[in-house]
Each structure stands twice: as C-alpha cells, then as structure tokens.
Amino acid sequence: MNNIILLGNPNVGKTTLYNTLTKSNEKASNWHGVTVDAKKKSFKINDKEFEVTDLPGLYSVDGYSNEEKIASNFLEKNKDDLIVNICDANNLKRNLELTKQLIDDSYKVVLAVNMVNDFKEFDEQKLSSLLGIPVVGIDARKSKSVEKLKETIYDIYLGKNSKFGKKISKINENIEKIDKFIEALNNSELHKFSKTIDKILLNKVLFLPFFCMLIFLVFYLTFGGFGEWLSGRFTQLVSYAFDFISNFITKLNISEIIKQFMISGVLNSLLTVFSFLPQILLLMLLFNVIEDSGLMSRFAFMFDGFMKKIGLTGKSLFSLMMGYGCTTSAVLTTRNLETQSLRKRTVLILPFSTCSAKLPVFLIISSLFFESYKYLFVLGLYILSILISILCACIYKKKIPDKDQIFILEMPKYRIPYLKKVVKDAISIALEFVYKIGTTVLIFGIVFWLLQNFSYKFEYLNGENYQNSILFIVSNSLSFIFKPIGLDSAGIVSVLLFGLIAKELIVVGLTFVNGVTGAEMLRESLLSSNSVCYFTPISSVVFLAFILLYSPCISALSSIKNEFGSKTALFVFVIQFVISYLVCFVLYNSIKSYNFIIATLVFVLVAIMCYFMVKLLKKKHCGGNCNACKKF
Amino acid sequence: MIEKNLINAKKNFNYKIASVNIEDKKLLSQLNNFGIKKNSTVKVLGSNYGKKSYLIQIDGINYAIDKSICEKVVLDE
C-alpha cells in the first residue's frame, strides 16, 4: 500500500493538502470545481515513497457531473489504495455522508478534517471512536498537523494503525452522538460572519454597484495608479539590464550578424515582454484575492439568471473568469459543467475572455494616444469583448440546443484571503508567463527575426531593405485582406500572423519590425510616421479591437481540440477571425467616415452572406440531435 | 390548497422538508447528499436577478439552487 487517494467534497482543501504534501503549486481556490482531472505525484515519509492522487471533488461515490465521474471511476479501479478523506470542519455533517459511503463500501479511510483552526477545540479522538477510522484535524493552508497526518499514513503502511473495519450499522448506532459532535462545532463565528456578509452583498440593489466598483478598482489598481508606478520602475530596471547585457555582447569578439542576432533577436524578445510582468502579476494577484475570498460563487449565483438567458449557467462564469488568466487552462475547467452542449457553448465564447498575454500590447498601444485615461480605455476593451461574447452566446444558444440546465452550487464561507497562498498563486502564473517567454516567445521571436532579416536568397539584410525580407513579402501579399479594416501595413500584418502562435509575440514583433529595443523606444517609434509600423488614433483602436477578438493562440486551440475535437477547434479559429474582422470593419469605417449607418449596413450584409454560405455548405439536418450536429 | 414549496415559502423562516418530488434518481441522490431530503431543516434566504435560482440554507449551509428544483421541494406547513 504505497498509493494514496485524496478524496472529498468539492472545495474542502484537497488540492491545498496535495500541494503541501508534494510541495507542488497546483491551482486551488475557494470555489467549487477547481480540480477537474486526477493529478499524481510522489512524496516521502521517513524515506519511504508514496504516490498521492488528487481527485476532483465529489458528493457521493457514484458521481453525478463529468468531473465527479472521473473521481468515482478512479476510485472504482483503485479499491485497495488508502483514501485520505478530507472534510471541511465547517460543514462536517454533509461531508461525513461521503465518509459513511466509503466505510460502507469497505474502503480503507483516514479522515482528515480540514480548517480545524476555525474552532477552539476539535476532539479528533472522539470522532475517531465514533466513526471507527483514524481522524486527524489539520489546517492544510497553514500546513498545521500535516506532519501528524503523514505519521498516521506511515503507521497504517507499517500496519501499526489498524483502526478500520467498523460496520456501517455500528456507525449508524452512533449517529446521534455524531450529530451532537457536529452541532457543537456549528456555533462558529465564521458562519455568522458569512451570513451577515451574504445578507448585505446578495441584496439585489446592492450587488450590482458592489460588483461594478470592485471590477473598476481592479482595473484602476492594475492599469492606472499603483500598477503604472510599479510598471515604470520595473521598465527602468529592465532597460538597465538590457543596456548592460547588450554592452557586454557588443564587446565580444564575434561576427556582427551573431551580435545583432543576440541583441535584437534573443535579448529583445526576452526583455520587451518581460517588462510587463508587474502588471500581469498585479492583475492575477487581485483576481486571486477575489477567488480566495469566496466571492466567485456569489457572482455565479447572482448572474445565473442572466447567464441562463444567453444559454449558459452561473457555473460557466468560473471558466470565463479563468479565461482572463489563460484560455488554455480555462478550457479544462468546463469539465465541471453538466452537459456536453453547455460545455461547448461555454468554450465557444471562452476566447472572448481576454487572456493575460494580451495585456502587454493593450498597455503599449493604449498609452500612445490615451495615456491619461488608459485604465478606462482598457476597461472599455474588456467591456467590448463581454458584449460581443453575449451576442455570440445568444446565437450559440439557438444553434447548439440543450435541455434546461439545473444549477446547484454550494456557497463557500467567506475567508480573509491567505496572503501566502494568494502571492504564491500569482507568482506561479507569473513564472508560467516567464517560462513562456523563455520558450515559445524566444523560439518564435528568433524565427520572426530571421524571417525579417533574411531575403529569399538567404542574404542578411542588416536592418536595411526591409522590403526584400521573407517576412515583408509574405505579409505584403496578405495585406489586401486587412485593407478594409485599415490594418494593411505589412508590419502590422506580420505581427498579427505571429500573434496566432502566442499573443506575447505581438509586442516582440512590433519591436523587430521597427528595429527598436525595449518598451519605451517602441512607444516612440509607433508614434513616428517614419517607422515601418506606426499608428494613428483610428488604427490603434482598430488594431486593439482586432487583437482583443481574433483567433486564440495555438496552445488554446490545441486544448480545445483535445477536449472537443479538431472540427470545434477549427470552428473557433475561423469564427473568432471572422467576428474580429467584422467588428473592426464597422469600427474602422464608422470612425473614419463618421458614417455608422453605412458601415453597419455593410456589416449586416456580410454577416447575412456568411450565414447563408454556412447554411449552403451544411446539410439540412435536425439541428441538435442527429449525429452530424453532435460531431460539430 | 397550494402546496408550500421553496418558491412560495416565507423568507428567513425555518421549514421541514415534507417530500422531494423529483423522478430523476441520480439527481435525487445528489440532492440527498446536499441535505435536500425529508425532515431536513431549510430556510429560504433570497433569490438572484430574474429569480432563476434561490439561496437556500440547509442544515446551516448556504446553497444556490435552481428554481426548477425549488418548485419540487414540498415543505411542511
């Protein structure tokens, strides 16, 4: 017996305990269904290796939703493993229902009662004798008594602790005593605190102003005020680092092409995107505070009515919020949605949740013409993406029909966010960002640089005759596509193409095209009409709207392909491109000619044409129930 | 006489569940796990925008529950 399964109801702290045991940093938060797949890792107790599996939360061993079924199937296949059943001390009565089922099904169970710190006293011996299994009171967030839990596991491994095998009928005889034990725990101040806050916050009059204020505050702190100050200091540091390293490279006795490659290609790719790290870190930190406080479930509940009108449920909101960090991981969280149709509808609008990789380009371009109210401008972009996603969700609701969704969600207790965990989670996202810079961005940044600096005859262009470069020729031949939306410069087309690989590459591409280094020089060059790539107020708005809405990156598409198949991934790619194109067409033409009516008429005409083209291509079938529809 | 259910129940009043009229056995079992079963003590705390879901307290724990389920939870008068 070296295998351990962490099992329990959703949102009781399984992943937090998993992270503590294995020193991992898997996503854990104060809302239902964060874990959607089984995760395995080994850890040691007294030099003996144990493999621990963290499973999605479940309420009963049968499983009901998709992620519950993953857990119950795993359990079925691994009957002999030791189960560490984690319960929330604040909700012990409901949590013990699963424990009783596990005992009844003859599983070997250790009960880890989490969050015992919320109570003055927790008599684990008493509960252990009532249930007939080992019980350890822990606080997984603060790693309290986790060592004791490890000792218990080790004792069971050595065969020293054999406190198992109490019959369920025997436990049922103790039911009154168990209820009394739980009742004694229920008089917690935490319950009262949560109830009082819910009374105020879930009031229909007060909720919306609170929600709007909170979102405004997040954006103001990230993109205005503090975020801007922080970014300024960090950019200075990065530019010092850039100067220092590039001076060092210049002094090296190597060929000029290699020097240029290392400075403009490698170093520039890395440091330009890196300078946006503080604002990404800050945004993720604030989102983590909201998640950890228990507010997310309240948002899901309050918006459930509205979400149903557009064919989603309150639970879809979790995936959509995760999409603001990274679309790729958000796609996986749709597993906690009840039906395949609902999952598909959620995934189809997920790319509208603006991922953090788009932030650098928003910050650079918005600061060109809208510096003094940058945070309002970026907020406006987010609102635009939300409005378009609502519109699309309404269309998908009709096109991918489904029976009415049933919404049941446990409201977690409000918690003061645990600073260490919130910071750790934000740092983990920041490290992922840095890792992506060091891998995808660096590799494709180099490819971009090579294509831009070499001609078809593989001659080095040395920053001159940009028109002869491979990149320019390819981009120029495609620029006619972007002419109707005013983005027909070959430089802009090339960065949009590379943005399909990873959104971080857009800023890197802009620096390459203009032959500059660092964020500050890039800003100046983008304003100068002498640069290869420059922006006017109109083109900057259209460019940002295009970036906001166009096709997601390769890793997000591959995640969609894995979950829903290549047809859905291809559909997401094409539809996002078409939508962004149409929106930018209206935007560009209405701003340019001040003629919103003509632009909208053209938009409607193109949209109708697209609709009929799709209809012609598709066979007439049932519209939801036949095999062709299901495959879509 | 109209049966008292979670939709027409008085807010912030403790009720005992008389029956849960749901035929889907899996859903019923899931609801039982939440404590929505005969004799459980429930309290309606409020609803969301559009009254599509209700905030229900069961055995001291708050849940957001769909209107379609709330309609089928019959309460003791």
Fold of A3-187: Rossmann fold (3.40.50)
- What radius of gyration do chain A's Cα atoms show? 28
pLDDT at A50: 92
* Inter-chain residue contact A407 with B63, CB threshold 8 Å: no
* Inter-chain residue contact A60 with B29, CB threshold 8 Å: yes
Q: List, as one string, the DSSP characters of A168-196.
A: HHHHHHTHHHHHHHHHHHH--HHHHHHHH
Distance from CA of A46 to the nearest CA of B (A): 38
Nearest to A304 among B30, B52, B69 (CB): B52
Listed in sequence order, the residues at least 6 apart from B13 whose beta carbon sits closer than 8 Å to its beta carbon are: B43, B44
Phi, psi of B58 (to 5 degrees): -120, 120
A630 has pLDDT over 50:
no
Phi, psi of A607 (to 5 degrees): -65, -40
pLDDT in tens, A461-481: 776 777 888 988 999 999 999
pLDDT at A59: 84
B65 contacts on A by Cβ (under 8 Å): 407-408
A154 has pLDDT over 80:
yes
Distance CA A492, CA A496 (A): 6
Domain coordinates of chain B in residue numbers? 15-75
Nearest to A305 among B35, B53, B62 (CB): B53
* Inter-chain residue contact B60 with A94, CB threshold 8 Å: no
SS3 assignment, position B63: strand
pLDDT at A118: 75
- Show the tokens assigned to A564: 């829903």
A576 has pLDDT over 90:
yes
* Inter-chain residue contact B51 with A93, CB threshold 8 Å: no
Which residue is closest to A409 within chain B, CA to CA? B64
Contact (CB, 8 A) for A274 and A434: yes
pLDDT in tens, B36-76: 888 888 999 999 988 889 999 887 788 899 898 999 999 98
Distance CA A548, CA A354 (A): 7
SS3 assignment, position A545: helix
A620 has pLDDT over 60:
no
A509 has pLDDT over 70:
yes
Give residue A286's identity as a one-letter amino acid code: L
User: Residues of B near A (CB-CB distance < 8 A)?
Assistant: 26-27, 29-31, 33-35, 45-46, 48-53, 55, 59-66, 68-69
Distance CA A573, CA A587 (A): 21
Q: How far is CA A436 from the centre of its chain?
A: 15
- Tell which CATH classification among 2.30.30.90, 2.40.128.120, 3.40.50.300, 3.40.50.10190 matches the domain B15-75: 2.30.30.90
pLDDT at A199: 84
pLDDT band at A621 (very low <50, low <70, confident <90, very high): very low
pLDDT in tens, A190-215: 667 777 888 888 888 999 999 999 98
* Inter-chain residue contact A410 with B55, CB threshold 8 Å: no
Instruction: Give chain A's mean pLDDT.
Output: 83
Phi, psi of A28 (to 5 degrees): -135, 140
A597 has pLDDT over 60:
yes
Mean pLDDT over A535-549 rounds to: 91
pLDDT at A575: 93
H helices within A105-203, ranges in order?
Answer: 124-131, 146-158, 168-173, 175-186, 189-201
Percent of chain A whose pLDDT exceeds 70 = 89
Distance from CA of B5 to the nearest CA of A (A): 17
Distance CA A117, CA A113 (A): 10
Distance CA A86, CA A21 (A): 13
pLDDT in tens, A363-414: 889 888 888 788 888 888 898 899 899 989 988 888 887 776 678 888 888 8
Distance CA A273, CA A196 (A): 44
Across the A/B interface, how many CB contacts are shorter than 8 Å? 96
**Pick from A6, A71, A568: nearest CA to A336:** A71
A631 has pLDDT over 50:
no
pLDDT at A32: 67
Distance from CA of B50 to the nearest CA of A (A): 5
Domain coordinates of chain A in residue numbers? 3-187, 215-419
Percent of chain A whose pLDDT exceeds 90 = 17
pLDDT at A264: 77
* Inter-chain residue contact A410 with B65, CB threshold 8 Å: no
- Show the tokens assigned to A448: 């971009």
Mean pLDDT over A485-514 rounds to: 88
- What radius of gyration do chain B's Cα atoms show? 11
The whole-model pTM stands at 0.78
* Inter-chain residue contact A305 with B49, CB threshold 8 Å: yes
A625 has pLDDT over 70:
no
Neighbours of A89 (CB within 10 A): 22
Distances (CA, A) of A195 to A11, A411, B62: 18, 10, 9
pLDDT at A301: 92
Distance CA A53, CA A74 (A): 10
Distance CA A316, CA A349 (A): 10
Contact (CB, 8 A) for B27 and A64: yes
B31 contacts on A by Cβ (under 8 Å): 408
Q: List, as one string, the DSSP characters of A406-441.
A: P-EEE-PPP----HHHHHHHHHHHHHHHHHHIIIII
Distance from CA of B19 to the nearest CA of A (A): 18
Q: A391-399 contacts: CB < 8 A, separation 24 or more?
A: A392/A348, A392/A349, A392/A352, A392/A579, A393/A310, A393/A311, A393/A312, A393/A345, A393/A349, A394/A310, A394/A311, A396/A311, A396/A344, A396/A345, A396/A348, A396/A349, A397/A310, A397/A311, A397/A345, A399/A623
B55 contacts on A by Cβ (under 8 Å): 198, 202, 301, 411
H-run or E-run covering A563: helix A554-564
pLDDT in tens, A21-75: 998 888 776 666 667 778 889 999 888 999 999 988 888 887 766 677 788 888 8
